Amino acid sequence: MTTSGLVPAHTGKQTATGSALTVEDLDVDLGGRPVLRGVRLHVEPGELVGLIGPNGAGKTTLLRSVLALLRPRAGRVLVGGVPSRPGRSVIGYVPQRHEFAWEFPISVEQAVLSGRTGRIGLLRRPGAADWRAAAEAIDRVRLGELRRRPVGELSGGQRQRVLVARALALQPTLLLLDEPFTGLDLPTQELLDELFAGLAAEGKALLMTTHDLVGAMESCARLVLLNQRVIADGRPDELRDPQVWMRTFGVSERSPLLRIVRAG
């Protein structure tokens, strides 16, 4: 159950409308070079899916395609059964921490509220519903006590939680997380792990890119191994075959990576 033949079998079972996210035969080129080829992927409500692959495998490109920020060469992306469009699809996007201007003089509360800018619309002020959504999101990530703190004074883990709250302020059914664990210490990672598991339990669909294999095998319901194509897609215990990991990461059989996989 570990070859790529498993992938169509998996997607075949699902109807497109039931999935929070369905990616169908996606081809994406960047600067004329192929980055993604024939990518098929689905994420169900209540599922935390780990997207794993080496640098340059196309993980971020896949996330940007889901957000419809890139025009694919072929294939399509359905969010809640409808083709993805910026501003129309309700996707909670949690970018890598360095994408955000942390030196900006803005409080946690305001930063989270800024997630709803597109929803509020031009020439309008945030209304009661917007403030309520922001407050709920802040409570959800347990930053209530820091709501008035300038974002520049937060630790790495707190910053990551601000980005999650900003995404949650849109009340999305689908969350895209780009490397949420990078540069965080273990206790902070654990805290975030609990948060993501909780969000999945509430019925949200989460797709997360990560380099943290140990954590991903532990916390993700399903892993998708990506390197231009989907190399394998299955539960962590279905992915014990070293071959798929060697193909995904282009490493030899002596790589310490494989010890982690077998131990997991």
Partner 1 sequence: MSIIDFLHDLTNPDLAFLPKALAIAVMSSVVCGVVGCYVVLRGMAFIGDAVAHAVFPGLAVAFVLQGSLVLGGAVAGILTALLIAVFAQHRRVKEDSLIGVFFVAAFALGIVIISRAPGYAGSLQQFLFGSITGIPDRDLYTVGFTGLAILMVLLLLHKELVAVSLDREMARSVGLPVFWLDIVLYVLVTLAVVISLQTIGNILVLALLITPPATARLLTDRLPVMMLLAPLIGGGSALVGLYLSWSYDLPVGGTVVLVATAMFLSAWLLAPRHGLLARRWRGAGRRHAERGRTTGPGGAREATV
Q: Toward partner 1, which CB reaches closer, 186 or 263?
A: 186
Instruction: State yes or no: residue 127 binds partner 1 (CB under 8 A).
Output: no
Instruction: State yes or no: residue 110 binds partner 1 (CB under 8 A).
Output: yes
What's the rounded Cα separation, in Å, for the pair 227 and 232? 10
Please identify which residue in 111, 141, 184, 261 interacts with partner 1, judged by CB under 8 A.
111
Looking only at residues 176 through 235 of this chain, which bind partner 1 when binding is defined by CB under 8 A?
A: none
Instruction: State yes or no: residue 85 binds partner 1 (CB under 8 A).
Output: yes
User: Taking CB under 8 A as the rule, which mask of x and - marks residues 143-182 in contact with partner 1?
Assistant: --xx--xx-xxxx-xx-------x---x------------
Bridging pattern class, strands 82-83 and 174-178: unpaired
Instruction: Identify the residue whose tokens are 């359905």.
Output: 78
What's the rounded Cα separation, in Å, for the pair 34 and 138? 39
- Write the single-letter amino acid at 70: L
Helices (H) and strands (E) in the chain, counts: 10, 10
Q: Toward partner 1, which CB reaches closer, 87 or 256?
A: 87
Please identify which residue in 1, 4, 46, 100 interacts with partner 1, judged by CB under 8 A.
100
Minimum Å gap between C-beta 23 and partner 1 is 16
The number of residues that bind partner 1 (CB under 8 A) is: 43
Q: Where in the chain does DSSP place strands (E)?
A: 21-30, 33-43, 48-52, 74-79, 82-83, 91-94, 174-178, 205-209, 222-227, 229-234
Instruction: State yes or no: residue 86 binds partner 1 (CB under 8 A).
Output: yes
Minimum Å gap between C-beta 53 and partner 1 is 20
Instruction: State yes or no: residue 87 binds partner 1 (CB under 8 A).
Output: yes
Q: What are the angstrom distances between the C-alpha of 197 and each of 48, 79, 192, 194, 220?
A: 7, 21, 8, 5, 8
Instruction: State yes or no: residue 128 binds partner 1 (CB under 8 A).
Output: no
The first and second tokens of residue 186, run together, are 């273990």
Span interacting with partner 1, options 73-81, 103-111, 226-234, 236-244, rule CB under 8 A: 103-111
Instruction: State yes or no: residue 105 binds partner 1 (CB under 8 A).
Output: yes
- Write the single-letter amino acid at 224: V
Q: Look at residue 220 and give its three-state secondary structure.
A: coil
What's the rounded Cα separation, in Å, for the pair 84 and 10? 22
Nearest CA to 113 among 99, 132, 94? Answer: 132
Looking only at residues 33 through 72 of this chain, which bind partner 1 when binding is defined by CB under 8 A?
A: 64, 67, 69
> Residues in the site for partner 1, rule: CB under 8 A?
64, 67, 69, 85-88, 91, 93, 95, 99-107, 110-111, 114-115, 117-120, 122-123, 125-126, 145-146, 149-150, 152-155, 157-158, 166, 170
